[in-house]
Structure 1
Amino acid sequence: MYDIGFQQACELARNNITPLGAEKIPVSGLSGRVCAREAIALIDYPSADSSLKDGYAVISRDIARADRQNPVLLQVVGTLGAGDPCTMSVSTGKTVRVLSGASIPEGAEAVLAEEFAEKRDGHIRALACSEQGRNILAKGSEVKEGEILVRTGEVFTPAKIGLIVAGGIQEAWVFRRPKVGLLATGNEVLLPGQPPETGKLFASNLALQDAWLRSWSISSVIEKAEDSFPGLKTALESIVDECDIILTSGGAWKGDRDLIVKVLDGLGWNMLFHRIRLGPGKAVALGFLQGKPVVCLPGGPPSNEAAFLLIALPLVLQLAGYTGSPYRRLTGILTEEVRGQKDWTQVVHCRAEKQDFSIRLVPLASTQRLRSMATADGLFLIPEGVEHISKGTLVEFICLNDQ
């Protein structure tokens, strides 16, 4: 398919990508990962009835009528702290001192908070009642053995990790993170670390992509190839064996040296689409080589960034099991009119300025391409068919800067 709409391209991409296989990892590595198999509690939490407060384990009927005018005397027969083996019991007229987190001794029905007790020579005077269950965290009230704690597709947050550890889980299944091949094409391209040469450019596109991937803890392999059939063929054949997905930059349009799609055709890839109605960012192709996704991105920095953020990065994250948008989406009020194109979706960089309880969106000029990208807080889309959006309009934008 050629020259398709942006929304159609996104839908085709989403529908043809499935997450990679699962791996089992310790809880120390779970943060931010996507659950691949339900995490099921192995134990109850708490494992026994326990005290919520420092106080005294009592039989409720012993102190049912206790108050400051009519205190009830109870004998203290021992003390239990959190984690202590519970070998004591409570009978009528007796109590056990319990600290927060301690197991409730046999026979006790409630905990009288210590502020309602006065100590006296191995006894306490109970100054209030404490009905059955008061100040007791019941066994399994937080987590029950066999309960599903985290479902497939959910992201392990710190709080969810704490929950599964409480349920006795020390390892969990997550979707494997992909290794991404980043391939720069072009005779003029230098990789970071190479000495500068007049007339050549450093591969800023790859640096940007690698930085975004690292922000998601996804590793990459960076390569470059000159604009020739043999060079591109060799680079693609090498990188496809090592990586789960390939992102190429440059050479995806219709020029004399735009060879990447032709080389992929020669290698027998299964192309889904080539060129989308997105500006900047239209020189995009997506297909599969040896069953692995290959996304061909434009070479110009604004086009490359737009296509990477809107097409490629969501696909990489989908391989890792993530669903939905990878970006925070907010709304802001346009400070000036913006114009789009009748026959494509327009991408606009913007600066977001907080004003009282709203956000002002300042569109950025595209004359200084890399500088506009570096100073942008976000970007928004002017949909295909919309030729202008008026000043003062509330629009949704993708937040690229959480600061």
Structure 2
Amino acid sequence: MMRTVSEHQHVVAGLFPPPRAEVVPLAAALGRITAADVRATVDLPGFDNSAMDGYAVRAVDIAAAAEDSPVTLPVSADIPAGRTDPLYLDPGTAHRIMTGSPLPSGADAVVPVEQTDAGLQSVAVHASVAQGASVRTAGSDIVVGDLAIPAGTVLHAPAIGLLAALGLPGVEVLAPVRVVVVSTGSELVAAGQPLRHGQIYESNGVMLTSALSEAGAIARQEHFVPDDVAQFRERLDAIITDERGCDLIVTSGGVSAGAYEVVKDALAGDGVEFVKVAMQPGMPQGCGRIRGPDGQSVPIVTLPGNPVSAQVSFEVFLRAPLRRAMGLADDRERTTAELTAPLHSPAGKRQFRRGIIRIEDGRVVVDPIGPPSSHHLRYLAAANALIDVGTDTENLARGDLAEVILIDDGSA
């Protein structure tokens, strides 16, 4: 009996722990998600201050001011931004004041400099103002104890600015999952090196590392290993004990039913289960937990080696639980689209075909591209959608509606 896609999704999701929190400096917080409510630790503003360059006054003292009959007041102090000594405004006087500077006691309004003659020793005021004019009162933005940023907020630049204005050097955010990618296969050769007959360039490692990073994880690629069980186990032990940390290991290759399946040979019966999933592409799958030399347990997901199978398996099994483990929503949109060409799917298997979804004459349509085989990477590279054909469907005709997973939203 094969495992269904839904069953394997459930098993893989169970490997991920709840999101964990960490405190990061504000400079590193952009795009991160707050792990807890952040409450104001100070009032904003922290004191009554001027909203304009002008003159701090008592409104009653200039109530009779007009353009043709200004009121003249002596200027008894100058208040630039940053002045910290307490000041008092005597009745019948003015203080020259800059934007953001603290309002002196006794003042209840600010006259913009444009409504005066900008005098230094005395000032002629050409217009009256109401009490509170051009004054930012203490706590008018936020007061101590108010909710500043709710838990679960994706921090953008203004939110980080608010945290900085509150005097917070750092913020508690959900930690990204640290993932290490390992490709296996004696036939693999690094890009840029000459190929011998029977060799291929390694592509799964960089592809999966990119996919994991795109999903929000901190992913790094280990150099691929040959089909040697001892070397593979040594590499896993080194990954688990690496001081950079590892929350998840993802491998590609070595999980099928043939000989020289290094991942299966090394891990079967040792905390990792290898199964066949009723899907195309990506039937051979594995997952579980492995222990390092220090006894630490780390989850591992073993994907098939064919590149399309590996990437489709990531989309189907890994991306959603990975994002949930970081407090992120599953951002892969599902919709239905009209097929522009017929499709055939093997009986009893859930097929994921590559497609291009688009709008045609106001209708959402999807063009199936390429054959269903798991080695046609060029068509996956060109696709912006996966056509999800259910296990109970063998044939779909042109014009039929199909379930579609959007895998590329077109954003930069």
Using structure 2 for the length normalisation, give the TM-score.
0.80
Once the two structures are TM-superposed, the CA of residue 358 in structure 1 deviates from its matched residue by 8.7
Match of 2:236 in 1: 236
Once the two structures are TM-superposed, the CA of residue 168 in structure 1 deviates from its matched residue by 0.6
Once the two structures are TM-superposed, the CA of residue 378 in structure 1 deviates from its matched residue by 4.2
Please tell me whether the aligned partners of residues 340 and 346 of structure 1 are also in contact (alpha carbons under 8 angstroms). no
Please tell me whether the aligned partners of residues 186 and 250 of structure 1 are also in contact (alpha carbons under 8 angstroms). yes
Q: Do structure 1's residue 225 and structure 2's residue 234 form an aligned pair?
A: no
Provide the C-alpha distance between the structure 1 equivalents of 2:388 and 2:124, rounded to a whole number of angstroms. 71
Q: Do structure 1's residue 349 and structure 2's residue 351 form an aligned pair?
A: no
Note the aligned Cα RMSD (angstroms): 3.6
Match of 2:294 in 1: none
1:160 aligned counterpart, secondary structure: helix
Provide the C-alpha distance between the structure 2 equivalents of 1:303 and 1:13, rounded to a whole number of angstroms. 16
Provide the C-alpha distance between the structure 1 equivalents of 2:80 and 2:365, rounded to a whole number of angstroms. 56
Using structure 1 for the length normalisation, give the TM-score.
0.82
Q: How many residues align?
A: 397
Deviations 1:306-340 (A, max 9, x none): 11233234444444x23212x46486865714636
Q: Do structure 1's residue 297 and structure 2's residue 303 form an aligned pair?
A: yes
Counterparts of 1:331-350 in structure 2 under 5 Å? 334=338, 336-337=340-341, 339=343, 341=345, 343-350=348-355
Match of 2:379 among 372, 383, 387: 372
Aligned AA (1:244): D
Match of 1:308 among 314, 318, 324: 314
Structure 1 range deviating more: 35-44 or 162-171: 35-44
1:182 aligned counterpart, secondary structure: strand
Aligned AA (1:103): P
Please tell me whether the aligned partners of residues 80 and 98 of structure 1 are also in contact (alpha carbons under 8 angstroms). yes
Provide the C-alpha distance between the structure 2 equivalents of 1:85 and 1:391, rounded to a whole number of angstroms. 74
Once the two structures are TM-superposed, the CA of residue 305 in structure 1 deviates from its matched residue by 0.8
Once the two structures are TM-superposed, the CA of residue 224 in structure 1 deviates from its matched residue by 2.8
2:3 aligned counterpart, secondary structure: strand
Deviations 1:63-96 (A, max 9, x none): 4565557754444333323223353333433332
Tell me, which stretches of 5 or more residues in structure 1 are unaligned?
A: none
Deviations 1:369-391 (A, max 9, x none): 22222233444534554554864
Provide the C-alpha distance between the structure 2 equivalents of 1:390 and 1:143, rounded to a whole number of angstroms. 59
1:192 and 1:145, CA in 2 relative to 1: closer, same or farther beyond 3 A? Answer: farther
Counterparts of 1:82-93 in structure 2 under 5 Å? 82-85=81-84, 87-93=86-92
Match of 1:54 in 2: 53
1:157 and 1:93, CA in 2 relative to 1: closer, same or farther beyond 3 A? Answer: same
2:388 aligned counterpart, secondary structure: strand
Provide the C-alpha distance between the structure 1 equivalents of 2:83 and 2:348, rounded to a whole number of angstroms. 73
2:218 aligned counterpart, secondary structure: coil
Q: Percent identity?
A: 24
Match of 1:282 in 2: 283
1:90 and 1:385, CA in 2 relative to 1: closer, same or farther beyond 3 A? Answer: farther
Deviations 1:128-176 (A, max 9, x none): 43243x3322223334334443444433332222111111111233344
Please tell me whether the aligned partners of residues 331 and 359 of structure 1 are also in contact (alpha carbons under 8 angstroms). no
Please tell me whether the aligned partners of residues 12 and 301 of structure 2 are also in contact (alpha carbons under 8 angstroms). no
Please tell me whether the aligned partners of residues 181 and 219 of structure 2 are also in contact (alpha carbons under 8 angstroms). no
Q: Do structure 1's residue 269 and structure 2's residue 234 form an aligned pair?
A: no
Once the two structures are TM-superposed, the CA of residue 357 in structure 1 deviates from its matched residue by 9.2
Once the two structures are TM-superposed, the CA of residue 15 in structure 1 deviates from its matched residue by 4.2
Once the two structures are TM-superposed, the CA of residue 248 in structure 1 deviates from its matched residue by 0.9
